[in-house]
Amino acid sequence: MIDKFKSIFIIPELRKRILFTLGVLIVARLGAHIPIPGINGEALSAAFQGYQNTLLGLYNLFAGGAFEKATLFALGIMPYISASIIIQLMSTVVPYFQRLQKEGEAGRKKITQVTRYLTVLISAMQAYGIVAVFLPSMSSAGQSVVINPGFSFIFTGTICLITGTILLMWLGERITERGIGNGISLIIMIGIVSRLPNVVVSEIALVNEGVRSILSELILLAVMLAVICFVVLLTQGTRKIPVSYAKRVVGRKVYGGQSTHIPLKVNTAGVMPIIFAQSIMFIPSTIATFFSESSFMQTVMRWFSFDHPFYWIVFGLMIVFFTYFYTAIAFDPTQVSQQMKQHGGFIPGIRPGKKTAEYIDNILSRVTLPGSFALAAVAVFPYILMQIMDVSYDLASFFGGTSLLIIVGVALDTLQQIESHLMSRHYDGFLSKGKIRGRRRI
């Protein structure tokens, strides 16, 4: 294994790609610690504690903790992800985007350009809302978060936040082109992982103070390893549909005649169902935060808190729903059957065309069912663990949910990228058996 790690840095191009990626990620983390002008950092940190279990807390997770510090990268890469999701949804219903998808590389460039413009628009609206409305309304112990609110602060803060988002988007694209690929996902993952050292230090302090025993820490470690193994299996699980291609004679050459397969992932939707469901589940508690004096809103906050079984049930059911919803968007059986028919491919025993599409859709629905329940279990498990083992939310987030799925998925995809570079230059695979299958990007 050590020799295989050494082989990564023997290849000049791969070494440059990895070092370039690390350099860009360092820049991304540095920007997450530079606050925008006119902010009282201590007051903001204290005031944000009341928003940890709201939609803003989820946003702060994807921003790598930059949102609660009001830094240049406070918006993170979420405006770009939101724009990408909107464009992807529009590609299923808007004829213009459907045509662009069929135009190959030229169409993808136009879609990328539209996504960038939409990212700037979304980040501008979010930045103005944060700087003009959210931050001026926050205070702690009589101290306002904004030192001198006014037009100057609003203009400067909005420009800083928009520029930070555009810079993050550009850095992510540079990693994809000149690094080891999947730059946007790597930026999100490194932001989540950056919280791990603080969690480890906190656990060591609890053990030293006698609050938690070493045996409890070992049990937590064993549970974490088991959950990680389960998430890896969920991410890599695939149902293969055999496909054969008829032989075609063109001139003196014979084409086709091969057998391959269509890989249907158990978790085709990836982490998106959890993000959608969690965003919706945070809406009631986020609204209730601004009307905390109402008894009805206090009841709503109690029902939608992490430790309430009602939250777990509704959250799990919404994940199952969004898993089917996003799978239907991400994978189109009709389009797959048409492409197979155009290239002379067929599933043995199934007629090409409509019957093939129905067959693939039927298998996809059956495969998605256990995948959706497994995804819901992974998402709900951290909240159950918080009640059983009395652990903090920061620690529990590494036992499942959005954080763990992103970390595992991006790590597997990164290993697959390194593996392909090693194999293309006739080196042994990064792992003993190789063939690490990648996954859909976030």
Assess whether 201 and 183 both reside in one domain: no
Which amino acid makes up residue 363?
I
Asked whether residue 369 falls in the same domain as residue 261, the answer is yes
Residues 70, 210: one domain? no
Tens of pLDDT, residue by residue over 321-374, are: 988 888 887 788 888 888 888 777 888 888 888 888 888 889 988 999 998 999
Enclosing domain of residue 83: 1-194
* Whole-angstrom distance, CA of residue 331 vs CA of residue 361: 9
Which residue would you say has higher pLDDT here, 282 or 407? 407
Residues 228 and 356 in one domain: yes
**240 and 153: one domain?**
no
> Does one domain contain both 141 and 18?
yes
What pLDDT band is residue 23 in, cutting at 50, 70 and 90? very high
Residue 310's nearest CA partner among 300, 324, 320 is 300
State percent of the chain over pLDDT 90. Answer: 7
Residue 74 has pLDDT above 80, yes or no: yes
- Per DSSP, the three-state class of 173 is helix
Residue 385 has pLDDT above 80, yes or no: yes
**How much of the chain exceeds pLDDT 70, in percent?**
86
Distance (Å, rounded) from C-alpha 171 to C-alpha 148?
Answer: 32
Contact 216, 360 (CB under 8 A): no
CB-based contact 244:259 (threshold 8 Å): yes
Kindly report, residue by residue over 417-436, the tens digit of the pLDDT: 887 777 766 555 555 454 44
Q: What is the DSSP string of 122-165?
A: HHHHHHHHIIIIIGGG-EETTEESBSS-SHHHHHHHHHHHHHHH
Same domain, 69 and 139: yes
Exposed / middle / buried, residue 404 (Cβ in 10 Å: 0-12, 13-18, 19+): buried
CATH number at residue 103: 1.10.3370.10
**Cα 1 from Cα 10, distance rounded (Å):** 15
Q: What is the pLDDT of residue 277?
A: 81
Does residue 161 sit in the same domain as residue 199?
no
Q: Are residues 238 and 370 in the same domain?
A: yes
In a domain, 411, yes or no: no
Does residue 308 lie within any of the structural domains? yes
* Residue 101 located in a structural domain: yes
User: Which pLDDT score is estimated for 438?
Assistant: 46
Look at residue 167 in the predicted model and tell me its pLDDT: 92
Model confidence at 36, pLDDT cuts 50, 70, 90, reads: confident
- What was the pLDDT predicted at 431? 52
How high is the pLDDT of residue 51? Answer: 67
**DSSP reduced 3-state for 95:** helix
DSSP string covering 325-346 = HHHHHH--HHHHHHHHHHTTEE
Query: CB of 305 within 8 A of CB of 53?
Result: yes
**What single DSSP character describes residue 146?**
B
Is pLDDT larger for residue 30 or for residue 253?
Answer: 30
55 within some domain = yes
Taking 70 as the threshold, does the pLDDT of residue 249 lie above it? no
Tokens describing residue 442 = 């976030």
pLDDT at 76 over 60: yes
Q: Say yes or no: 288 and 190 in one domain.
A: no
Distance between CA 379 and CA 371 in Å, rounded? 12
Phi, psi of 142 (to 5 degrees): 80, -5
Among candidate residues 150, 87, 163, the one with its CA nearest the CA of residue 124: 163
Say how many domains are in the chain: 2
- Identify the domain boundary among 163, 194, 225: 194
Residue 287 in 3-state DSSP? Answer: helix
Stretch 197-223: mean pLDDT = 86
Tell me the three state secondary structure of residue 253.
strand
The residue with greater pLDDT, 284 or 226, is 226
pLDDT in tens, 95-146: 888 888 777 788 888 988 999 999 999 889 888 888 888 788 777 777 788 8
Tell me what the mean pLDDT of segment 67-84 comes to. Answer: 84
Q: Pick 219 or 311 by higher pLDDT.
A: 219
Q: Residue 440 — pLDDT band, cuts 50, 70, 90?
A: very low
245 lies in some domain: yes
Could you tell me the pLDDT band of residue 257, with boundaries at 50, 70 and 90?
Answer: low
Sign of CA dihedral 312, 314, 315, 316: positive
Residue 418: inside a domain:
no
Residue 54 is predicted with a pLDDT of 62
- Is the confidence at residue 386, as pLDDT, over 50? yes
Say if residue 161 is exposed, middle or buried (CB neighbours under 10 Å; 0-12, 13-18, 19+). buried
Q: What is the DSSP string of 26-94?
A: HHHHHHTT-BPTTB-HHHHHHHGGGGTTSHHHHHHHHTTT-GGGTBTTTTTTHHHHHHHHHHHHHTTT-
Closest C-alpha among 368, 408, 359 to residue 265: 368
- Per mean pLDDT, which range of 131-140, 157-166, 273-282 is the poorest? 273-282
